[in-house]
Amino acid sequence: MSSWTFAAQVLPHFVIAVVGTAVGFSWSPRVAPEWILPVGLAAFLLFVAAVTFRRSSGWNATFLFLFALSVGAYSGQVLPLGGLDWRWAAGFALAVLATAAATGSPGLYIRLGRVWPLIWVLSWAYVGGWALFLVWDVLASILVGWTVAGLLVFSVLAVGWFSRLRLASANPIGASLALELYIIAFNLAVAARLLGHGLGLR
């Protein structure tokens, strides 16, 4: 995929998803405590819908935006206060994505192919592991270690993702690719913010 194709087909959907997350986050203080779990469940179901209809024009973009909106509303309620400022966390995530875009190549994607399944398993294990952090209080050192691991895993995912884009693709689907990019970027930003929380930034 060329840079022009990426800018035209993927970037607009990604930006809309980021805006949706910001809107959901700003709305999160209005979410009553008894609605936190339903909002989280809605985010999960919308993610499933976004993946299921990723090749359906119109529906894929709609579910992506609604998923991002619900993620913002849910994360605004469950993430701890304090940590790295969201602007710096988002800037860090964008810097990682920009670096990955500059360094990605087809050859690198082929070399990563041997460990690609393991990276995906680690990424989902990392995301699923946050459920334990939401239930139990953990030592700051454990939180720091977990977020550093997340930053490493999703940074490698970002490099692999942009490297894959360098391969020939006959029919790229903008909203589907934007969903993948959004998940990588969001996890990088959250990990950066919570790393600051673990280090005592308030």
- Please give the average per-residue pLDDT across 134-138, as a whole number: 65
* Distance from C-alpha of 134 to C-alpha of 145, rounded to nearest angstrom: 16
Spatial contact of 73 and 28, defined as CB atoms under 8 Å apart: yes
* Distance from C-alpha of 191 to C-alpha of 202, rounded to nearest angstrom: 15
Total structural domains within the chain: 1
For 139, phi then psi, to 5°, come to -65, 150
**Surface-to-core class of residue 118, CB atoms within 10 Å of its CB (0-12 exposed, 13-18 middle, 19+ buried):** exposed
pLDDT tens, 80-124? 777 888 899 999 999 999 999 999 887 888 887 778 888 889 998
pLDDT-derived band at 136 (thresholds 50, 70, 90) equals: low
pLDDT tens, 15-72? 999 999 999 999 988 888 888 889 999 999 999 999 998 888 889 999 999 999 999 9
* Distance from C-alpha of 173 to C-alpha of 120, rounded to nearest angstrom: 21
Give, rounded to a whole angstrom, the gap between the first and last alpha carbons of the chain.
41
- Closest to 192 measured CA to CA, from 90, 72, 120, 122: 90
- Domain coverage including residue 78: 3-198
Token duo for residue 73:
């509303």
Q: Taking the model in full, what pTM does it have?
A: 0.89
